[in-house]
Chain A
Amino acid sequence: MNYKLIADISRSLLFARWKQTLVAAIGVTFSITMFISLLSFMSGLNDLLDGLIINRTPHIRMYNEIKPSAQQPVSLSEEYRDHYNFISKVKPKKERLEIYNNAAIMNYLQKDDRILGIAPKITTQVFYNVGAIDLAGAINGIDVEAENKLFLFQSYLTEGNYVDLKNTPNSIILGKGLSEKMLADIGDVIQVTTSRGERMPLKVVGFFQSGLQDIDNTQSYASITTTQKLLAESGSYITDIQVKLKDINLAPELALEYQNLFDLEAIDIQTANSQFETGSSVRTIISYSVGITLLIVAGFGIYNILNMMIYEKMDSIAILKATGFSGKDVNRIFITIALSIGIFGGILGLIFGFGLSALIDQVPFNTQALPTIKTYPVNYNPIFYVIGAVFSIVTTYLAGYFPSRKASKIDPVIIIRGK
């Protein structure tokens, strides 16, 4: 087959109507540009918002919950097995929040290769003493290194460094809102009282801002050892085990497994934060549908232009066929025209799309929730470019397919006799 000749004829037809061609190509360019930048931006935002939750929240959290036993003694009794037992006013039994035998559990978890890492934690209620007033709040005792490695602790510190929490004995990192209420500055010593009435001075080494007012106004962080000291508990006391998985999708399954294995409450991130997953998938769907709509509209533009071109070039098509070009050749010529518009427009679109994304990346974006983010987030995922490229070619091919078929079916006799 003589591809060079077909390419040659296609090129001539293209340039004979270069203004229309340009408009068609601009249509494709515009849609690909918008497609790329929209998806990059949307997915950047999604990653950011998901990151707020997914990066900072354990994939599985294990803890002891105070709740009534599911199995009351009477239902375990042989004697009353065949009876219906009604027990009213069931109360939870006295249970400690501590996770028993946590060293063994953590050892076991560390060997599980589905797990990326674990971080023990203690949560406890305290009062912050500001002069005569006590502010209710909570202290999270964390394994500073593990917390930073797994949950990017440093990324929400507005001031101070996370290692100070470990290096300075009896230190605390306060929530931003809390520090404003207490007028506490870095280096100041504040007093906290535990629920058991024990009082302890702690040195402020930093501030954090999570973006959630409720948390920033009440919570603070201290190292595990400091918290254990505060609670007058032994070095093995912890209340939570936070697990980060290699594959977040395994969380519900593993949570169930550990719950049965260790006889603890285990909650997975999907259950704890179901609204975020829904939000990001809806945003993704919206951006894809807008992008694809743009491309389809561009496809119709190409379809129109090719149709017009075929009407205009009826004579040329007829003579090409009369002088020995088959329907297939004519079809190829118009498909080549459509694809050239698609490829040319598409490549420009990818370049402009990258440019526009880079531009959005420079736009200042300051938010309370994310002290470390200064500009709009953009995700430069190459997959968007691949989708854009493939889609621009597929749409233009389809847009060219029907006009080309029409052109290939033109009967030269009718046109030549019509004159």
Chain B
Amino acid sequence: MDLKILEAKSVTKYFHDPITYQVLKEISFSVNRGDFISVIGKSGCGKSTLLYILSTMDTDYEGDILIDGESMVNKKEAELAMVRNEKIGFVFQFHYLLNEFSVLKNVMLPGLKSGKYSEAEVEHRAFEKLKILGIESEALKKPNQVSGGQKQRVAIARALINDPLIIMGDEPTGNLDKKNSEIVFNIFQELAEVYNQSLLIVTHDNEFAARTHRIIEMEDGRIIKK
């Protein structure tokens, strides 16, 4: 089913510090359900900037973003937070787990925030997600007690907890060794193929990109190849 879940319409962005510089130039593209897309390009070509605009965290741009057919322009900060909570899952280069909470609780937090399910249900769902990622045995440990690769998997589980429309990743394997990168890639692939999960991953790793369904290559703030 070709359903557009994310659409960028001529997104343009400037950096003003130290000098005004156009970092994104009229970027337009769309993501369909089940797409596994990687965005590649050299450092400074604007791919991370694009990702943060798409993720609604950066609101200083021109053009329009549609998520699930809804425009993100003119939404308030709290509404954008809701969109991020319910429709977008994030995986960053660094895992950003909260050491104060157990692995399970870390996964649960966005679920609890959304308030769609009761605490018991959220806990159950979080456990299910950890199971998919094969780290259910670490559920009650603190994040600083599990390995780097496992941490990244916990972060993926956290991204999945609210069944997002799309998972966005900013160099999710950037900090991982070969073996763990492979594990993470396999998880993404499984999510895309088995669960029909859309993924948009920014990466430096051309090998990683080559195995995704679609590659968007950027240079100097433009998409040069879709």
Contact = CB atoms under 8 A, between A and B. Distances in A.
B81 A324 contact: yes
A322 B84 contact: yes
A325 interface: yes
A251 to B, nearest CB: 60
A185 interface: no
A71 B94 CA distance: 99
Interface stretch (A311-319, A352-360, A381-389): A311-319
A410 B91 CA distance: 19
Contact of B100 (A16, A327, A411): A16
Q: How large is the interface on A (under 10, 10 to 19, 20 to 34, 35 or more residues)?
A: 20 to 34
Interface string B116-139: 000100000000000000000000
Interface residues on B, range: 20 to 34
B85 interface: yes
A251 B78 CA distance: 61
Majority-rule SS of A interface residues: helix
A417 B48 contact: yes
B115 A416 contact: no
A259 to B, nearest CB: 70
A323 B110 contact: yes
Nearest to B90: A322
Most A C-beta atoms less than 10 A away, residue of B57, B83, B119, B162: B57
Nearest to A316: B98
A5 B113 contact: yes
Given A12-B100, A16-B99, A322-B57, A2 B113 contact: yes
B109 A323 contact: yes
The residue among A5, A16, A320, A324 with the most chain B CB atoms within 10 A of its own CB is A324
Interface string A279-291: 0000000000000
B52 interface: yes
Given A319-B98, A416-B92, A329 B113 contact: yes
A322 B55 CA distance: 9
Interface string A311-346: 000011011111111111100000000000000000
Contact of A13 (B78, B86, B100): B100
A411 B84 CA distance: 14
Interface in B71-100: 77-78, 81-86, 90, 92-94, 96-100
Nearest to B110: A323
B14 to A, nearest CB: 15
Contacts of A320: 109
A323 B94 contact: no
A319 B90 CA distance: 9
Contacts of B96: 315-316, 318-319, 322, 416
Contacts of B208: none
Interface of A: 2, 4-5, 8-9, 12-13, 15-16, 315-316, 318-329, 411-413, 416-417, 419
10 contacts: A2-B115, A323-B85, A324-B83, A324-B85, A324-B110, A329-B81, A329-B113, A416-B96, A419-B92, A419-B93
3 A-B pairs with least C-beta separation: A324-B85, A326-B81, A319-B96
Given A15-B100, A327-B81, A416-B96, 15 more contacts: A4-B119, A5-B109, A8-B112, A12-B100, A316-B98, A316-B100, A322-B55, A322-B84, A323-B90, A324-B84, A324-B113, A326-B81, A326-B82, A327-B77, A328-B78
Interface of B: 48, 52, 55, 57-58, 77-78, 81-86, 90, 92-94, 96-101, 109-110, 112-115, 119, 158, 162, 170
